Amino acid sequence: MKKKVFSLLLAVAMVLSLAACGNGNNGTDTTAPANQETTPADEGSADTTETSQGGSDGYEIALVTDLGTIDDKSFNQGAWEGVVAYGDEFGIAYKYYQPTEKTTASYVETIGLAVEGGASIVVCPGFLFEPAVYQVQDTYPDVNFILIDGEPHDEDYAEYRTNSNVMCIMFQEDEAGFLAGYAAVKEGHTKLGFMGGMAVPAVIRFGYGYLQGAEYAANEMGIDSIEVQYYYTGGFAATPEAQAMAASWFESGTGVIFGCGGSVGNSVMAAAENVDKSVIGVDVDQSSESDTVITSAMKMLKNSVYEGLKGHFGGNFTGGQTIFFDVTSDSVGLPMETSRFETFTQEDYDAIYAKLVAGEVNIENDTTIETSDPEFHSKLGLSIVKATMVE
């Protein structure tokens, strides 16, 4: 009898051991903290990662990625950090879901999985979620949504509608871009570059602020000419074409390029590493990605998501509207602690930041101004800065 019991226990142990070895991440390349358990997705559904935090039966906070991972050093990571910060502080369970396709249908399906998993609020980082949120705000009226960098609209852009269960978070990218351009000129650069991704409002605001920041610094320093190469790649991927263009700019004398468009920045970094030139990162602190990154024009995604979650669980969710986060709430800026400036100081940064907070600097952020407009420079108040629009 004892031998039978021992054999049974041994068999069970072997099964459990094999099951543990097989519990993988189903293709999701993430690094989960010790207090997280990575779980495989069901056949044909989204990949997920969950935590053991919180006391609810389900995972009340969910984040749906835009196909990237939560350690992408960009939008997904910044938003996820806000989820983790709030969930850990208040003991609320959280989980992220990764769509299998970059389509509205896949985003909608993945959001549905999050709701089925117990989410009372879903964080959607990026404008690609606009059509999906437009649909799910009606499908799940009792669930709140945080949409970052976008506003809900239908697939044809014919109707924009934000229900009371959707909080749209936008940023004053023009202020972050202004600080980056200002710092670049203060650092001694008079030949700059701006390589944006798609010409969407957020990227346009970054670029227009960048030009005006350079203008403001040049005026303070008595510089009479700043040259800027200006280009939109049309996408957010790292490409050989973008790297080659950045390399040609560096070879022609450009000292620093603002890589403003997701992985477009990685193309710029690759080009800069070959010629010992400088890069300005975007959205999050990208200093760890390359020694060429002297600073980053940041959106404090973590802070904004945290505030959105705070409103949701505090009973004062600001749904049905678009909230702009700016310098007055310390929601945009440069990461001075990790910046690699040689002449631009913390005191310089604090001084210009204080002027922005006080409203002493006027930044034109009208994204309807076309770069092809003959009056482009005058409309942005540029007289020292001469931007060359690269086709």
pTM of the model: 0.82
Q: Answer whether residue 51 shows pLDDT above 80.
A: no
- Range list of β-strands (E), the chain: 36-39, 47-51, 61-64, 94-98, 121-125, 144-148, 166-171, 191-196, 226-232, 256-260, 278-283, 293-299, 321-325, 332-333, 385-389
Per-residue confidence (pLDDT) for residue 57, from 0 to 100 = 58
The per-residue pLDDT for range 211-229, each reduced to its tens digit, is 999 999 999 999 999 999 9
Per-residue confidence (pLDDT) for residue 230, from 0 to 100 = 98
Cα–Cα dist 24/114, whole Å: 20
| Residue 47: pLDDT band with limits 50, 70, 90 | low
* Percent of the chain predicted with pLDDT > 70: 85
The per-residue pLDDT for range 89-124, each reduced to its tens digit, is 999 999 999 999 989 999 999 999 999 999 999 999
Q: Which residues have a Cβ under 8 Å from the Cβ of 241 and sit 6 or more positions away?
A: 233
Tokens of 77: 């990571």
Q: Which H, E and C letters describe 130-160, residue by residue?
A: HHHHHHHHHHCCCCEEEEECCCCECCCCCCE
Residue with the bigger pLDDT between 162 and 54: it is: 162
Tokens of 146: 């945080």
Q: Looking at residues 157-185, what average pLDDT do you find?
A: 97
Q: Is 86:306 a contact under the CB 8 Å cutoff? A: yes
The per-residue pLDDT for range 322-365, each reduced to its tens digit, is 999 999 999 999 999 999 999 999 999 999 999 999 999 999 99
Nearest Cα to 299, choosing from 202, 200, 168, 192?
202
Nearest Cα to 307, choosing from 324, 287, 283, 285?
324
Helix, coil or strand: residue 280? strand
AA identity, residue 103: T
Show the domains of the chain with their CATH numbers: 29-171 (3.40.50.2300), 173-299+361-389 (3.40.50.2300)
Beta strands 36-39 and 47-51: pairing type?
antiparallel
Q: Is 98:65 a contact under the CB 8 Å cutoff? A: yes
Q: Answer whether residue 38 shows pLDDT above 70.
A: no
Work out the number of other CB atoms within 10 angstroms of the CB of residue 234.
14
Per-residue confidence (pLDDT) for residue 384, from 0 to 100 = 98
Helix, coil or strand: residue 174? helix
